[in-house]
Amino acid sequence: MAQKQIIITDDHAVVRTGLQMILEETSDLTIADEARNGNELLEKLQHRSFDLVILDISMPGRDALDVLKEIKANWPHLPVVIFTMNADEIYAVRMIRAGASAYINKETRPTQIIEVLRTVTTGKKFFTPSQAELLANAVSELSTLSAHTHETLSDREFQIMSMLASGLRKSEIAEKLQLSKNTVGNHRNNILRKMNLSTNSQITRYAIQHGIIQ
């Protein structure tokens, strides 16, 4: 049986090496290539076929959600597993909605990581029970959402809201997301309007209260 060819995208060499060591214990999965950021990943996908992408959620440069959306637009059947230190599953819902096949924490046991990777290479998705419950709740609440909730934000607005809540300045967000400061400012204005807030400190307080940041 041919091994499933996996590319891992993570800016930390220790993470890439650790996954390589885990998968060396299997006969059906292998790390065929590595990338240090989203742009490098997208470049490699243009020149080689893979069976699975493992994508870190926090990397320098392009945001992981943007990278995921571009992958699904150009390679819709290529499964993507989000690999993260962020245990907050509010992010999982956003990523799964955008097309991720699984969202797993970097502290997950090696045996479960292997189980997840094997599952998604068959074309299936892998949700934890809590992720499945969050997704079900998100669907059932779509028709009754308050006009002042983070669920009304677009994916880009949710990204920027989370970054503002974490204390990043507009210029820092613009640089990280490769946007103009005016564009970030426009998004911030939309966020405040949709959530019925008026300051960044209120955004931070809301994000803490709703488990978006800690």
Instruction: Read off the pLDDT band of 26 (50, 70, 90).
Output: very high
Domains in the chain with CATH codes: 4-137 (3.40.50.2300), 146-209 (1.10.10.10)
59-104 pLDDT tens trace: 777 788 889 999 999 999 999 999 887 666 667 778 888 899 999 8
pLDDT tops 50 at residue 146: no
More confident residue, 26 or 141: 26
149-188 pLDDT tens trace: 777 788 888 889 888 988 999 999 888 888 899 999 999 9
User: For residue 110, how far is the Cα from the chain centroid?
Assistant: 20
Q: How many residues does the chain have?
A: 214
Query: Rounded to whole angstroms, how far apart are CA atoms 47 and 30?
Result: 18
pLDDT score, position 21: 93
With beta carbons less than 8 A apart as the criterion, state whether 191 and 203 touch.
Answer: yes
Q: Count the Cβ atoms, other than its own, within 10 Å of residue 43.
A: 11
Return the DSSP state at 65.
Answer: H
With beta carbons less than 8 A apart as the criterion, state whether 106 and 8 touch.
Answer: no
User: Burial level of 77, CB count in 10 A (0-12/13-18/19+)?
Assistant: exposed
Return the DSSP state at 108.
Answer: S
Indicate the helix (H) or strand (E) that contains 107. Answer: none
Query: Rounded to whole angstroms, how far apart are CA atoms 81 and 52?
Result: 8
User: For residue 161, how far is the Cα from the chain centroid?
Assistant: 15
pLDDT score, position 64: 86
Instruction: Read off the pLDDT band of 143 (50, 70, 90).
Output: very low
| Closest to 90 (Cα-Cα) out of 126, 131, 57 | 131
Q: How far is CA 42 from CA 27, 71, 76, 169, in A?
A: 27, 7, 14, 28
Q: Strand, helix or coil at 152?
A: helix
Return the DSSP state at 3.
Answer: P
More confident residue, 124 or 142: 124
189-214 pLDDT tens trace: 998 888 888 888 889 888 888 777 76
Buried b (16+ CB within 10 A) or exposed e, 113-122: bbebbbbbbe
pLDDT score, position 79: 96
Instruction: Read off the pLDDT band of 50 (50, 70, 90).
Output: very high
The CA-based dihedral angle spanning residues 78, 83, 89, 90, taken in that order and rounded to the nearest 10 degrees: -70
DSSP string for residues in 29-54 = EEEEEEESSHHHHHHHHTT---SEEE
129-139 pLDDT tens trace: 777 776 776 65
